Structures are given as C-alpha cells and as structure tokens.
C-alpha cells in the first residue's frame, strides 16, 4: 500500500506536522527525505530495509556512501545524496556544541570533542586539540588526510599550529577506519617523537587518542606516554 493510501495521521509528513518530529521512527524520517519508494515498497518500507542493512545503527548508516546507498532499489543518486547530506548535517550539528571554554580533564572529554570529526570516515585523518594552561580547548585542527591504512603527521605543522594559537599543550588524535583500537609501533614512535620535541618548546603532549567504532584508545590511560 502506497503512503498516499494510508490514513492521514499515519503518513510521515502529516504525522510530523501534527505530532512533532519526536513521534516519527527513524524509518519514517528517512522516508520523508526520499519521498517515494519503489514498485514493491513504500518509502517507509524501503527506509526500513536500508536501516535493517546496518542493524538499525545510525552510526553505521552514516558510514555508507552514495555508492552503497544506490544499491537499494528505488534509491537513485539524488536520494542517496539527500540521505548522506542529512546525516552530515546531524554530524556537524554535534561539532558546533564544542565550546572554546570546554575543559579537558580526562580522555573521555577529549573523545567527545574530537569524535564527530573522526567517526564515520573511510580514510585516516590526523587532528590535534590545542589547550591553554587551564586545559581549556583553544581549537581543534586537521593536520592531514590520508588513505585507508595511514596518514602523515608532520611535526612542523603540529607545533606551528600550537605556537600560533599560543597553546600550552596538545592532544594528538587520529582514526582507524577499520575500527581496530590498538596502537601500532608507528603510532607509539610518533607519539614519543612529538613528546620529546614538545619539551624543547614547553608544549606538552598530554594524550594521543585513536578513534574508531564510536570508541577510543587513550595513550594516557594506558600509560604509554
């Protein structure tokens, strides 16, 4: 049965207008985005199928690219881009919540600050969080973007950014697209190298986070620093 044949109160758009956005399921919200289904499925049924393919996990849905989405019957490039754009807006909305006055007093706080920049990526990126003497966030900066298995972290770029922002300390951050939360020998060596370099500039490396699968590994918590 097509959505137009449903009772008005059950149609996603009408339900949204009458009862509010909180009353809609995830499938109904996606159905509003795509507008229509295919010959066998309504927009809601098609949306349920898309969600079922990622075990109803919105984080996993956010990792699907346009090429993944167009594999579903009834989802063309325009609809796929609409879904991806909506999820990206949601991700960006979270990033705007980060206040420059936020205090980083544990690895969990650092993860909350950087997670929206590093989750759902299919490639590696290296970021830094810059802190003042009170451990307030000054800024977070993308240092590099790489491939699936690695990226370059240039010490000169890292410390230049810290000096320009008058940062007292740095939290190093990068992601593992595979989701494997384990520090490689290269990760450990890089952290030691940057820690030693920072001592000469009076800029301390207070932690290094590896982010993946909505979780993280902290060098500080594991006493690797």
Q: Please count the CA atoms within 13 angstroms of the CA of 15 that sit on its side-chain side.
A: 19
107-218 CATH fold: Cytidine Deaminase; domain 2 (3.40.140)
**Per residue of the chain (225 residues), what is the pLDDT tens digit?**
556 556 555 588 888 888 888 889 999 999 999 999 998 999 999 999 999 999 999 989 998 999 999 999 999 999 999 999 999 998 887 766 554 468 999 999 999 999 989 988 889 999 999 999 999 999 999 999 888 777 889 999 999 999 999 999 999 999 999 888 999 999 999 999 999 999 999 999 999 999 998 899 999 999 988
DSSP secondary structure code for residue 144 in this structure: E
Contact 33, 17 (CB under 8 A): no
- CB-CB neighbours of 195 under 10 Å: 17
Return the closest-CA partner of residue 87 out of 111, 74, 69: 69
- State the helix-helix crossing angle for 26-34 and 77-95, rounded to 10 degrees: 130
Paired residues of 145 in beta bridges: 125
Contact 203, 159 (CB under 8 A): yes
pTM of the model: 0.64
């Amino acid at each position: 049965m097509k959505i137009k044949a449903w009772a008005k109160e059950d149609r996603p758009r009408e339900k949204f207008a009458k009862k509010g956005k909180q009353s809609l399921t995830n499938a109904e919200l996606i159905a509003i985005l795509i507008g229509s289904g295919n010959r066998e499925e309504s927009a809601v049924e098609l949306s349920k199928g898309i969600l079922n393919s990622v075990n109803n996990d919105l984080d996993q849905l956010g990792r699907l690219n346009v090429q993944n989405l167009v594999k579903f019957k009834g989802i063309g490039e325009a609809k796929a881009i609409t879904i991806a754009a909506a999820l990206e807006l949601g991700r960006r909305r979270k990033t705007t919540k980060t206040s420059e006055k936020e205090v980083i007093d544990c690895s969990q706080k650092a993860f909350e600050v950087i997670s929206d920049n590093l989750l759902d990526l299919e490639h590696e990126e290296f970021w830094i969080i810059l802190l003042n003497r009170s451990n307030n966030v000054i800024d977070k900066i993308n240092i590099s973007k790489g491939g699936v298995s690695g990226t370059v972290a240039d010490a000169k770029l890292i410390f230049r950014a810290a000096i320009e922002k008058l940062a007292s300390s740095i939290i190093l951050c990068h992601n593992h697209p595979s989701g494997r939360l384990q520090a490689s020998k290269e990760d450990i060596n890089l952290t030691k190298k940057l820690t030693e370099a920072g001592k000469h500039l009076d800029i301390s490396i207070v932690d290094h986070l590896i982010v993946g699968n909505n979780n993280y590994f902290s060098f500080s918590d594991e006493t690797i620093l």
